[in-house]
């Protein structure tokens, strides 16, 4: 590419343009998952909407592939691409809370830690995930599930509007009133439809929650899973708890005797007073006393950042996922078998409950087509050492292959690696896929935004919703 053209592009941006020869390049091309190493031609750190528009025009004029980067957390590294232009939104960072409407306006480059920090001061939170360093952009556009899902729904259920720069560089607002088809599509359809430069969310009263892990020995795992599968389905929606197989981290608050021990556990979050939480968990504590628990009142942002220190950027990650309707005894036995063989300290399996408030929305109301599912299951092989890549990958794949026949069919799009195949994407969107393909054809007919879990434009697709 002509250096003069690049220099001209650079001069048009408020943000930084990073080239492979720049000292900042090596850091700027890294994503959270160190298994991914891609070398873009250019990285545009966009400072504002104007930079995003300029970057899109530049990519079009120069026939460059584009990837959109929010927090850089995507499992498959979809925020970065080889030989193309990365539209990096990380400088677009602002959070404005309107206490009168309890709404929260969030810049496209924010992480959930930014949102939690700002909203907490007003006694509010937006339903998100379980780690504060995850980007708002990717998590929201794929759906968003976490500690508050049972009480307030998925992140997309709390999205009121978004500012979007489309594939032709035009700027639009997507909401129930403006461009409603686009608004429908971005609530689960990922980064297929445009670059979201800001999100408007409904916040909810959440301040101090009673939260933290309870752990049990592995020989109790089958019993705990069988208790959990019944309990969480009927529990009040203010209570969330995801089940995990884990290796106890070697540090506080865990007692030394448990350090590096493989165990199972539930990480709870109760949005209410401690006495009520204790009432709800009393029978569990007496029938299955945990080997350890750290279930205490804490500010919501503290819960959100509880695992940040363990899961730092730069680890190797291999992900496999499914939605789950039912945990049969056979599935429980297979979970115990594979969950007991965690290959490394960071590897884990989580079963996130997605029942409750998320089920108030219909299967065609947003692209999220598994509202009836009870859990979103994810198996992640994780380790700092690149030499362990094959081992963690094989463990996660074997575990997933054993449990996949017990799954509901699709999987959370944000828990998939790149290249799982179009069939997996179709299985995930089910009857919504055709409508997504139509909306894609309207807003991005050339598939300009294709570094994502791609929905191919198809104006003639026969939408059934
Ligand atoms: C440690 C860890 C914990 C996680 N926990 C949870 C969890 O609890 N709940 C949950 O729901 N998910 C969770 N995830 C998954 C997470 O939702 C996805 O990885 C998501 O893609 C991350 O978003 P990001 O902006 O950081 O990603 P990026 O890698 O920056 O972007 C991923 C893709 O999202 C799209 N995108 C991002 N921002 C924008 C934007 N502003 N406009 C248009 N498109 C955009 C693009 O297509 C891009 O390719 C977790 C991931 C990790 C690594």
Kindly report, residue by residue over 40-93, the tens digit of the pLDDT: 999 999 999 999 999 999 999 999 999 999 999 999 999 999 999 999 999 999
Q: Are strands 66-69 and 85-88 parallel, antiparallel or unpaired?
A: parallel
Mean pLDDT score of the chain: 97
pLDDT at 53: 98
pLDDT band at 419 (very low <50, low <70, confident <90, very high): confident
Kindly report, residue by residue over 233-286, the tens digit of the pLDDT: 999 999 999 999 999 999 999 999 999 999 999 999 999 999 999 999 999 999
d(CA 365, CA 232): 25
pLDDT band at 462 (very low <50, low <70, confident <90, very high): confident
Kindly report, residue by residue over 126-139, the tens digit of the pLDDT: 999 999 999 999 99
**Ligand 1 atom having least distance to the Cα of 199:** 41
Judge whether residue 465 has pLDDT over 60. no
Nearest to 110 by CA among 81, 132, 90, 125: 90
Judge whether residue 463 has pLDDT over 70. no
Judge whether residue 464 has pLDDT over 70. no
Residue with tokens 């101090």: 208
Judge whether residue 345 has pLDDT over 60. yes
- Return the half-sphere exposure (C-beta side, CA atoms, 13 A cut-off) of residue 416: 23
| Verdict on whether the full-model pTM lies above 0.85 | yes
Kindly report, residue by residue over 367-414, the tens digit of the pLDDT: 999 999 999 999 999 999 999 999 999 999 999 999 999 999 999 999
Nearest to 154 by CA among 143, 167, 141: 143
- Return the half-sphere exposure (C-beta side, CA atoms, 13 A cut-off) of residue 208: 7
Q: Report how far ligand 1's centroid is from the alpha carbon of 389 (Å).
A: 22
Q: Report how far ligand 1's centroid is from the alpha carbon of 72 (Å).
A: 7
Percent of the chain with pLDDT over 90: 97
SS3 state of residue 131: coil
167 CB near ligand 1 (under 6 Å): no
pLDDT at 461: 83
pLDDT at 369: 98
Judge whether residue 190 has pLDDT over 80. yes
Report the length, in residues, of the chain. Answer: 465
Q: What is the mean pLDDT of residues 318-328?
A: 98
d(CA 153, CA 324): 17
Judge whether residue 217 has pLDDT over 60. yes
414 CB near ligand 1 (under 6 Å): yes
d(CA 206, CA 395): 38
Q: What is the mean pLDDT of residues 189-209?
A: 98
79 CB near ligand 1 (under 6 Å): yes
138 CB near ligand 1 (under 6 Å): yes
């Amino acid at each position: 590419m002509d250096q003069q053209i690049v220099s001209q592009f650079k001069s048009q941006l408020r943000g930084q343009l990073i080239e492979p020869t720049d000292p900042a390049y090596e850091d700027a091309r890294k994503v959270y998952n160190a298994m991914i190493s891609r070398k873009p031609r250019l990285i545009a750190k966009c400072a504002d909407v104007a930079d995003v528009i300029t970057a899109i025009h530049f990519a079009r004029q120069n026939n460059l592939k584009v990837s959109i980067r929010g927090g850089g957390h995507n499992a498959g590294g979809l925020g970065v691409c080889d030989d193309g232009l990365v539209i990096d939104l990380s400088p677009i960072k602002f959070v404005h809370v309107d206490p009168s409407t309890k709404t929260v306006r969030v810049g496209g480059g924010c992480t959930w830690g930014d949102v939690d920090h700002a909203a907490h001061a007003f006694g509010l939170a937006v339903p998100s995930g379980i780690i504060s360093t995850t980007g708002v952009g990717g998590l929201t556009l794929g759906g968003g599930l976490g500690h508050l899902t049972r009480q307030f729904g998925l992140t997309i259920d709390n999205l009121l509007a978004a500012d979007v720069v489309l594939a032709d560089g035009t700027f639009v607002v997507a909401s129930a009133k403006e461009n409603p088809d686009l608004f429908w599509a971005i609530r689960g359809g990922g980064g297929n439809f445009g670059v979201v430069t800001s999100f408007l969310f409904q916040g909810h009263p959440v301040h101090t929650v009673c939260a933290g892990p309870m752990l049990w020995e592995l020989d109790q795992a089958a019993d705990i899973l069988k208790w959990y599968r019944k309990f969480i389905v009927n529990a009040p929606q203010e209570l969330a708890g995801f089940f995990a197989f884990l290796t106890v981290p070697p540090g506080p608050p865990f007692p030394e005797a448990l350090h590096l021990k493989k165990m199972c556990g539930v990480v709870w979050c109760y949005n209410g007073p401690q006495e009520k939480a204790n009432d709800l968990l009393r029978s569990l504590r007496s029938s299955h006393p945990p080997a350890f628990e750290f279930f205490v009142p804490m500010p919501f942002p503290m819960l959100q950042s509880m695992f940040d220190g363990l899961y730092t950027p730069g680890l190797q990650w291999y992900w496999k996922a499914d939605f789950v309707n039912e945990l049969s005894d056979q599935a429980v036995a297979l979970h115990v078998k594979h969950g007991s063989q965690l290959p490394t300290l960071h590897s884990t399996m989580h079963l996130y409950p997605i029942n409750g408030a998320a089920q108030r929305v219909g299967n065609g109301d947003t692209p999220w087509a598994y509202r009836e599912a009870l859990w979103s299951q994810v198996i992640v092989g994780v380790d700092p050492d690149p030499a362990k890549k094959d081992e963690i990958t094989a463990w996660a794949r074997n575990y997933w292959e054993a449990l996949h026949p017990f799954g509901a069919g699709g999987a959370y799009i944000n828990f998939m690696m790149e290249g799982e195949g179009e069939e997996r994407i179709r299985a995930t969107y089910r009857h919504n896929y055709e409508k997504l393909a139509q909306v894609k054809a309207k807003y991005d007919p050339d598939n300009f935004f294709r570094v994502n879990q791609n929905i191919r434009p198809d104006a003639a697709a026969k939408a059934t919703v």
